[in-house]
């Protein structure tokens, strides 16, 4: 369904744009029909940038993103509008998606005017009520309220209902539960699982490893804008190979083991990266070979790692 092929995003920063910020570098992965893929990494790893490029909110510097075999960068006018009928996004802060001076149901009215002007009001109201109930909301309790009168969980589900009204095929879910309390997180996760069972494909962007394990069949671990490791979620979580993936997994508390101190070096080199392994400055096993960019190799079925150590061991 969705395929990224060596996608990069570079910003000009510094005085007179004299430096390059490599937000995303040569990222390739795909999301199949009815599949949930987690995009996992720390802040600044490029997760949200990738989501915004998929949604055409940011232009791609190089590479291609294809949806159903069509390069989305070529879409304009009616074709781009049709793309947004199929692909939508829900972001971390639900409050930023609403105009505070309008009641929340104005989102649905704008949707009707833009995408379904031919549908009569009564038929549209019935569709809205059905979508609201699908996400666990009572239309009578939320439709006539201002955003500040609703909780974060209600607003997030409101946005998912808006996406459902478009009969979308692909959802970019960017940290959509990070601002919710624990009692509401599981509700939204279970809602995404229900939508997946109906055939919706989801790119689940998160920094929380446990959430990625709970919701997805496949995972992509990002570091510094590059793919460190990707593949079947079970294989990555229970057999992490890349030093960065191992560090991430070691930072997750285990109930069946005594907690141990984990040494985490937070230095990075995103601004002046000129080649080689992006993890070089933090890697405990880095050598001279790591001054060259490592390839992304398949060390077992549906398990890929970008590390020279693993390339040499599997050569």
264-285 pLDDT, tens digit per residue, is: 554 444 444 556 888 888 888 8
pLDDT of residue 270: 43
Residue 193 and residue 227: Cα distance in Å, rounded? 25
* Cβ neighbourhood burial of 43 (10 Å; 0-12, 13-18, 19+): exposed
Classify residue 233 by its DSSP letter: H
| β-strands 36-40, 2-13 pairing | unpaired
pLDDT digits (tens, 9 = 90+) for 238-255: 899 999 988 888 776 655
Question: For domain 2-255+262-314, which architecture applies?
Answer: 3-Layer(aba) Sandwich (3.40)
Residue 224 and residue 207: Cα distance in Å, rounded? 13
Residue 106 and residue 147: Cα distance in Å, rounded? 11
Residue 301 and residue 305: Cα distance in Å, rounded? 12
Distances (CA, A) of 101 to 69, 145, 146: 41, 11, 7
pLDDT of residue 75: 93
pLDDT of residue 72: 95
- Residue ranges for the chain with pLDDT beneath 70: 17, 179-180, 183, 252-275, 310-315
């Amino acid at each position: 369904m969705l395929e990224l092929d060596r996608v990069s995003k570079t910003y000009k920063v510094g005085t007179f744009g004299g430096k390059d910020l490599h937000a995303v570098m040569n990222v390739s992965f795909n999301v199949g029909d009815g599949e949930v893929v987690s995009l996992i990494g720390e802040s600044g790893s490029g997760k949200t940038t990738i989501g915004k490029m998929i949604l055409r909110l940011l232009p791609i510097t190089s590479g291609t993103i294809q949806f159903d075999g069509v390069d989305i960068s070529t879409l304009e006018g009616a074709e781009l509008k049709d793309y947004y009928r199929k692909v939508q996004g829900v972001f971390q802060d639900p409050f930023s998606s609403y105009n505070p001076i309008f009641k929340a149901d104005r989102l649905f009215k704008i949707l009707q005017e833009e995408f379904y002007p031919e549908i009569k009001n009564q038929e549209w109201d019935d569709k809205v009520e059905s979508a609201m109930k699908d996400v666990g909301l009572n239309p009578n309790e939320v439709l006539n309220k201002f955003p500040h009168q609703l909780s974060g969980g209600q607003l997030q589900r409101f946005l998912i209902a808006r996406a459902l009204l478009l009969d979308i095929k692909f959802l970019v879910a960017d940290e959509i539960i990070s601002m919710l309390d624990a009692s509401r997180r599981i509700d939204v996760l279970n809602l995404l699982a229900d939508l997946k069972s109906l055939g919706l494909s989801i790119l689940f962007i998160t920094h929380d490893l446990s959430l990625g394990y709970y919701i997805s069949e496949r995972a992509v671990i990002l570091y510094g804008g590059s793919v460190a490791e990707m593949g079947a979620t079970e294989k990555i979580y229970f057999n992490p190979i890349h030093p960065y993936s191992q560090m991430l997994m070691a930072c997750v508390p285990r109930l069946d083991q005594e907690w141990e101190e984990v040494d985490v070096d937070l230095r990075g080199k995103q601004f002046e990266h000129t080649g080689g392994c992006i993890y070089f400055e933090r890697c405990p096993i880095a050598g001279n070979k790591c001054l060259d960019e490592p390839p992304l190799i398949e060390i077992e079925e549906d398990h890929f790692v970008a590390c020279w150590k693993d390339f040499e061991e599997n050569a």
